[in-house]
Structure 1
Amino acid sequence: MYYYHDHTSDSSSSSSEDEQAIVLRRQKIYRPRTQYLTEYDDVEFFDRFRLTKPTVLALLQQIVAELDSPTNRGGKITLLDQLLLALRFYASGNMLIGVADFIGVSRSSASKIVQKVSRVMASLRPQYIKFYETEAEMDIAAQEFHAIASFPRTIGAIDGTLIRINSPGGVDAEIYRCRKSYFSLNVQTVSDANLKIKDIVARWPVLSLKRQFENGRYGRFLLIGHSGYTLEPYLMTKVHATRTPAENLYNESIIRTRNVVERQYGVWKRRFPILSTGMKVKLRTVM
């Protein structure tokens, strides 16, 4: 019997395998990361990160001590890029893989960076979101609310909003299912007359501020809320089934005045669309 051995075929196969091995061992070439502060003009930068360049730089100075520069496959990730990655995540509506590609890091690195930067920025809350501390501040706030529709003694409009989340799983998952049948966090804020958030709670709504009002911390001043809130000495809501012209005027005034908190949520969610689309990350990251 005659056997034919194809030396050419073997040689070709071996050569191909060698070439593949060389390709696998070949050093990867990484593109230099974009210098976003100089690459984009002011409008382009704001469109992508939802904050102005000066605001980003000022924010970076406040959180720089709490951040480090982890090593990604492409090298060190600068502190500025970490901040921009998180801002891009908030602005783009919740696609981690998208922001990872945008900045030039792996998805896992992007996830860790978003968690870290978010936690550090949240720690700044007491500096920027705080209720009134002096009688003079409360007087000014009441005057600004009164200018809207003549509702007296008001220093805050209170309301809540639902932020969609993934099912947290476990035995407590249904606690997070809202009346609209999806999983969510109920975030509550108090807005001033200029749409500025004066108080925010994402865990146990109103308890801290409620106690302060009940203890007389804010004296004669009031909050206003929608009819879903319980009427309290310090929390005014509209009258159900009005009977007199005075009650009609009262309702008209409180509705127009309370509208600031609804507008505040609208501005907030348009600025950072992730608040509207929902957060497809683990509950501990959201919190």
Structure 2
Amino acid sequence: MAPGNRRTVARCAAVMCVLGVLRECKSNKKRLWVREWLRRREDKGIFDNLCREMRLGDDAAFYNYHRMNKEDFDYLLRLVGPKIAKQDTRMRKAIPPEQRLSVTLRHLATGESKTSLGYSYRISPNLLSSVVPEVCEALYAALQPLYMKMPTNEEEWLRIQAEFHSLWQFPNCCGALDGKRVLIAKPPKSGSTYYDYKCHFSSILLALVDAKLRFIYVDVGSAGRASDGGVWEKCSLKKGT
């Protein structure tokens, strides 16, 4: 190739690269960091409007919506608020702990999808997918030592045994143990692992309660097709017996 032709080809290549960069920059200008309807969360979102109205003037509606009264809600918020709080950034304001707790309780109470909750709370479903598990972990960490405490010594086990005898006339019993199959959506790529004998996809909740029906141990997550004996063989409670 002649030198002149080579220079022409090089110049054309350079022009094409510049045009490509300009085109990419132009397209990037059209992209939004936050969708417009998400920007209006504080003005139009359900939490800053309906939830606050119920909190101020309708105790029954607040209870029905969150499945707990305002006092219990505030109690939970004091326990987990510092653990689920996030800092504001230059790009956007963080979702306050009160709203994170509200949307999580609503999801747990109704099973409403994150997509549906995202529209009503004006929170992106992707963000909700991290908010809900994070709040649940904080709730478990705060409440488990207080309300689901396993006996740690012989005296505590004997106390439970005495309560079973006095309340239910059931001697030598240290706890009532049973399992419950909870219906779930089929996990991706799980095959028939969670397919149970009732032709449903389920996960097993194994629970131990004391004489006053208080949970003292739970094991969650075993596949629905497993038998009671199979769940017992794998749970940590057996290892402690």
TM-score (norm 1): 0.56
Check if 1:166 corresponds to 2:166: no
Q: Structure 1: which amino acid aligns with 2:64?
A: D
Q: Structure 2: which amino acid aligns with 1:94?
A: E
Q: Which residue of 2 aligns with 1:153?
A: 172
Check if 1:91 corresponds to 2:119: no
2:123 aligned to which of 105, 109, 121: 105
Q: Aligned ranges for residues 131-142 of structure 1 at < 5 Å?
A: 131-142=150-161
Q: Structure 2: which amino acid aligns with 1:132?
A: P
Deviates more, 1:181-190 or 1:137-146: 137-146
Question: Which whole-Å deviations, capped at 9, do the CAs of 1:56-92 have from their partners, x for residues lacking one?
Answer: 2222222233323377x99542111001100011112
Question: How far apart are 1:125 and its partner, in Å?
Answer: 5.6
Q: Which residue of 1 aligns with 2:134?
A: 116
> Which stretches in structure 1 are left out of the alignment for 5+ residues?
1-26, 214-287
Residues 52, 79 of structure 1: CA spacing in aligned structure 2 closer, same or farther, 3 A cutoff? same
1:58 aligned to which of 75, 80, 92: 75
Question: How far apart are 1:190 and its partner, in Å?
Answer: 0.4
For the residues of structure 2 that align with 1:129 and 1:40, how far apart are their CA atoms?
34
Check if 1:176 corresponds to 2:194: yes
- The count of aligned residue pairs is 186
Q: Structure 2: which amino acid aligns with 1:151?
A: F
Task: Decide whether the 8 Å contact of 2:209 with 2:217 is kept in 1.
Answer: yes
Q: CA RMSD in A?
A: 3.0
Could you tell me the percent identity over the aligned residues?
Answer: 23
Task: Decide whether the 8 Å contact of 1:177 with 1:183 is kept in 2.
Answer: yes
TM-score (norm 2): 0.65
Name the structure where helix makes up a greater proportion of residues.
2
For the residues of structure 2 that align with 1:40 and 1:120, how far apart are their CA atoms?
29
Question: Which whole-Å deviations, capped at 9, do the CAs of 1:254-282 have from their partners, x for residues lacking one?
Answer: xxxxxxxxxxxxxxxxxxxxxxxxxxxxx
> Which stretches in structure 2 are left out of the alignment for 5+ residues?
1-35, 223-230
Q: Structure 1: which amino acid aligns with 2:166?
A: A
Question: How far apart are 1:142 and its partner, in Å?
Answer: 2.0
Greater relative contact order structure (CA < 8 Å, 6+ sep): 1
Q: Structure 2: which amino acid aligns with 1:63?
A: V
SS at match of 2:171: coil
Question: Which whole-Å deviations, capped at 9, do the CAs of 1:211-241 have from their partners, x for residues lacking one?
Answer: 222xxxxxxxxxxxxxxxxxxxxxxxxxxxx
For the residues of structure 1 that align with 2:193 and 2:60, how far apart are their CA atoms?
42
Residues 47, 74 of structure 1: CA spacing in aligned structure 2 closer, same or farther, 3 A cutoff? farther
